[in-house]
Structure 1
């Protein structure tokens, strides 16, 4: 065998009956390299112009054979017949005709010599013709085949199987191939061979065309002219390559599969003979660069092979709904010259590339899917009907899967009526930058473009797609970004990050559908005036609504607190719709874009849902409203500016939700006064918001955010306004709360404003003026950098603690000054006093302060608990902020640290001051059925598990239990004797002691069947 290392010219080019084709040359070169078996130049050249089949032996049936110089007539009177031939060649001036009883009659023609069949002339029949030649079958450029049905194969079939219509083809050692360069016409056509190339024309007038390549292939031919196919993976190098034209009234199926050893062998070929291996290392088993037209087309390269299309596939219908196109394999590539048409006058069909919608059904899922720029996929309704479905998919649950999409995806609604279709481009790793999507509908609704990777980032570069791409498609289709949750073994969290601006003016909807949270770091702007122009935010969709902590957030600068992004919406009802949790209730919001709308809607008791679609400026004197427990005001990254008045908080009392909102202005306050609420009641949540209102004079209970708080949560929020007062008898000033009445939580929040009382009073704190309740409150991951000044009980974070308070992972770097004794001044807390006979209790963990002030006044060892906290000798040294320097929620690019803009993302993996322990359950040696297994005393046998640190006695206050799981289901057995099979050993339950975080690595157990005796 001679290795072809350079293919400049086919060695059969000088044979005039062959068409020249570069792909054909390559295919033969690849075949020769792998198998060394194909027709020799001599074998093809020696076929004379009037040659006929020779050496007939009738094996079964009533058959007569008549011949003259260049004509052969086979007359068969039985329904089935079998003829073994020494050779089956037809010269270009010769003809062979089979006369059969009817169209359902069949004749099996088997070539028993090692000579390939060369057909250059005419082959006709009124019934079914089977032509089997393990050495190969070649239909030359002038070949004319017109039969009832043609089944050609280079594989073997037994006489018994044929006579029983059990059409099972088995691979032989000769590994011949089939090439068609002529014209083949039949009611139905099937080609079964390890390698098939079409350079000519194949037409199935009333049925299917099936091209199959496998080790074993089974065909089932039905009375309605359809052909069903099943196959096993091939043990030889296989390839289906269409460079010509194939038309079928029914379906066209290309189906190939290869075993891993053959894939590995092909991948190792020299590059010159290895053009059929993609960049991903996938062997392309099915290729189409020609033209294919049918009712439905399926091309499948199996679990290890690749399908490549750079030609036309047409399943369009003039008077019906469009047909179905399915391209599947480990890799599927639709190259730039591809035209895939599934349009239909009454509705669009479907185009499935690498999988079905959201991976549903039994369509095989690809690992790599590529749609190149320039390709066109069209599933439109042309007259009256809905657009169809187009899917470009790779396995969303496989971290190695990749989907890269460009090209034109079209699923119009009908010209005379109908809705647009649905288009999906999904994969664990997804890139969609050179794509144009159009689902417009003249008389109906636009369709949908769905994008679904594990996590999704819209970015100018480096993301899954760009803001410009999303903006462009919103002109013609609704867009939904869905972030599937990923797998338990990787870092995907189902996030959606908008890092590039998006804008559109059409009457279409953008939906962000996240399994986890949504982070909007660049602006989203909708300017359409139609009812359909809106934004939908679904978050935390991996979990039920109850207990769901996911959210959506608008980016702010940690240094200035101001928003760096916003959601801009037109005025009106339903412009924003949100849903938290997969079983949550959709919430519809009214968008406010003017001062007049603000004054008319945020008045009295607010119980509905409102958003700001734009900044509201020059508001002036404000009359406080009441925010009911069911009310929500979401600023969407906007601010209400130039507020003024006397003793007026934005809400006098509040128990609902305030988020993504900024306030600015100047006012006087007497008592119970805060930027957002004078009195914060249980249930009030303030999230990702800031107050920049300056209080120039004030009395009691003055807070940057809330005057007096009970059961309030403040998350990712800040005060940058100043609270200063020279009035006498004023007290309880704080950057977040003036008075904390218990049950409150401040998390990832900060104050940079000046908190100052020069009137000689007390209880002034950077975050809280006074904690005044025996009900516990918490400060987590928060800080103060503003100046805090007062007389007595002055603290960097809290002025005075009466009752119970925990401070963790927080710091003060602001100056703390008091006008009297320094004993009432503290770097974190100014003082502690009992309340109602109960001693105040203060716990400080992982927290720091810049002033070497005394401990809080009134503190003693029984009520002041400090862990891993200290002074900071140099506030400009980041390393002094341990554990801040290793925490994922702090930005340490400068000192003192600030909360990272992505703190809420990183908080998933942040645990302060906990010892992390890995509990590994050891894999057990294989056991035999009949062995009793009792896991109730698992922890008593240290050989069954190992710990990365610590010891078992200190980990648990209540021990976990252990069990055997099969297919994720806990399995129980009588007499503790499990059935034969494979099991996972898992833990469940258990209560950890404080200070520990334990992760488990499951073990494995195999129970082998007991030997029969």
Structure 2
């Protein structure tokens, strides 16, 4: 089934609804169909070229002058053969942040790369500057930091940035275990990286953008991709983030970021901002409390496609998942949970051409053009009550799902696009939450003009 809005048609309001949206004519779908006429949209997921996989023993190759910024215990990565016929590579970093230039950044199926950091908040920016080939991860990629208890093993943590304008592929059986992962074909400025992205988040510029020194065709051709293949897994520590930025972003694997954020953003530039900037995303219960954990994300020029494919699974317990681009395809499964103090949120935003502005007090980055959002046949979005026991002081050990708290924020699903297509069997389940569907030719950042379903 399909729901479509003409640019001049808007309806809103609250309605009673069943606790779950099923493949039948559910309250949200009925609301969409009542407001907008039926319309058929042919949404195509771009085909990604498949280069020859690296040999099983392959690990990243450093450029001369490999460590551009920061310090470490060695002047080059340390490589050791393993029993599986692969290579174990270690990067031993002693500074909080560091910048590395690589000839290539590939990991074979029986090989591993481990970044050893001094603290949980350490990070490494890795740029592929010496090759025109995409990065291919088929083995293990890990970041860890020294355990405060010296008798115990290191803990998963720290942030890895991987920048390759030629594309990034996480192949079948790839295993990524990090504090946070930012994989992008778009570049980030050294100064902004070293600031923890605070310069661009608070400012008016893009956080990630196409490198002006690169051949323009690198954005227009089919090499500009970040893809997670079936069988690949990306997992962060609690509170971590997975940011995948390119013209074409696809997930068919499993991405998990508990208490964190997963973003698939497709465009020639990526704008990040604090969620308190936009009142639209404020809590229903407390306007001073944001209803999304993480950052708001918009994309600039470039007709990008962000897709969670059939078989793709994204899980952000008590966190946020955002897919944004001129074409957004939700064909797989997206799940989150909500507790009394932390809400789950899913944003599917088919829009782009973002520009920087100001609302009088703070800088804003807002999209100016809407695109096509597709909820594919059999796809599922679910935000369920958190069943974890309340172990806080005074807690009763039962799940903390009561909303008798002034800062309680209901779970939220935001759907936005010029055209919203809901195919047969697509489902949305948001227990105790809100589903907002905003079909409009020009993105509207005011809290009006949407079809709302309250659960």
Q: TM-score range by the shorter chain?
A: 0.5 to 0.7
Match 2:182 to one of 123, 133, 151: 151
- 1:584-636 CA distances to partner (integer Å, 9 max, x unpaired)? xxxxxxxxxxxxxxxxxxxxxxxxxxxxxxxxxxxxxxxxxxxxxxxxxxxxx
Deviation at 1:28, TM superposition (A): 3.9
CA contact (8 A) 1:59 1:82 kept: yes
State the alpha-carbon separation in 1 of the partners of residues 444 and 57 from structure 2: 55
Deviation at 1:154, TM superposition (A): 0.7
CA contact (8 A) 2:307 2:323 kept: no
| Residue 307 (structure 2) pairs with residue 293 (structure 1) | no
- 1:648-681 CA distances to partner (integer Å, 9 max, x unpaired)? xxxxxxxxxxxxxxxxxxxxxxxxxxxxxxxxxx
TM-score (norm 1): 0.28
Q: Which residue of 2 aligns with 1:875?
A: none
Deviation at 1:103, TM superposition (A): 1.9
- 1:170-228 CA distances to partner (integer Å, 9 max, x unpaired)? 12431210110110001221111111111100000221111112232133699x99431
What CA RMSD, in Å, does the superposition of the two structures yield over aligned residues? Answer: 2.7
| Residue 270 (structure 2) pairs with residue 217 (structure 1) | yes
- 1:701-744 CA distances to partner (integer Å, 9 max, x unpaired)? xxxxxxxxxxxxxxxxxxxxxxxxxxxxxxxxxxxxxxxxxxxx
- CA 1:219–1:100: 2 relative to 1, 3 Å: farther
Q: Which residue of 2 aligns with 1:191?
A: 244
- 1:838-884 CA distances to partner (integer Å, 9 max, x unpaired)? xxxxxxxxxxxxxxxxxxxxxxxxxxxxxxxxxxxxxxxxxxxxxxx
Q: Which residue of 2 aligns with 1:550?
A: none
CA contact (8 A) 1:213 1:234 kept: no
Deviation at 1:304, TM superposition (A): 2.7
Q: Which residue of 1 aligns with 2:59?
A: 52
| Residue 123 (structure 2) pairs with residue 128 (structure 1) | no
Larger radius of gyration: 1
Q: Which residue of 2 aligns with 1:171?
A: 210
| Residue 448 (structure 2) pairs with residue 350 (structure 1) | no
| Residue 295 (structure 2) pairs with residue 228 (structure 1) | yes
State the alpha-carbon separation in 1 of the partners of residues 190 and 424 from structure 2: 46
TM-score (norm 2): 0.61
Match 2:70 to one of 42, 61, 66: 61
For 1:83-122, list aligned pairs within 5 A: 83-112=100-129, 113-122=131-140
State the alpha-carbon separation in 2 of the partners of residues 246 and 296 from structure 1: 12
Structure 1 residues not aligned, in runs of 5+ = 1-25, 30-37, 258-284, 370-388, 392-410, 412-1013
Deviation at 1:331, TM superposition (A): 1.1
Deviation at 1:230, TM superposition (A): 3.9
CA contact (8 A) 2:139 2:175 kept: yes
Deviation at 1:229, TM superposition (A): 3.5
Q: Which residue of 1 aligns with 2:321?
A: 252
- 1:318-344 CA distances to partner (integer Å, 9 max, x unpaired)? 44265110110111122221110111x
- CA 1:355–1:238: 2 relative to 1, 3 Å: closer
Q: Work out which structure has the larger RCO, using CA pairs closer than 8 Å and 6 or more positions apart in sequence.
A: 2
| Residue 257 (structure 2) pairs with residue 204 (structure 1) | yes
State the alpha-carbon separation in 2 of the partners of residues 82 and 91 from structure 1: 23
| Residue 308 (structure 2) pairs with residue 242 (structure 1) | yes
Structure 2 residues not aligned, in runs of 5+ = 1-43, 82-86, 144-156, 201-206, 276-289, 337-343, 352-368, 387-398, 404-409
- CA 1:123–1:365: 2 relative to 1, 3 Å: farther
For 1:571-970, list aligned pairs within 5 A: none
- Determine helix, strand or coil for the equivalent of 2:265: strand
- CA 1:353–1:231: 2 relative to 1, 3 Å: closer
Q: Which residue of 2 aligns with 1:27?
A: 45
Match 2:420 to one of 316, 321, 332: 332
- CA 1:183–1:49: 2 relative to 1, 3 Å: same
Deviation at 1:364, TM superposition (A): 8.2
State the alpha-carbon separation in 2 of the partners of residues 120 and 90 from structure 1: 6
State the alpha-carbon separation in 2 of the partners of residues 218 and 194 from structure 1: 14
- CA 1:232–1:178: 2 relative to 1, 3 Å: closer
- 1:131-180 CA distances to partner (integer Å, 9 max, x unpaired)? 11110000011100000000110101121221122361112431210110
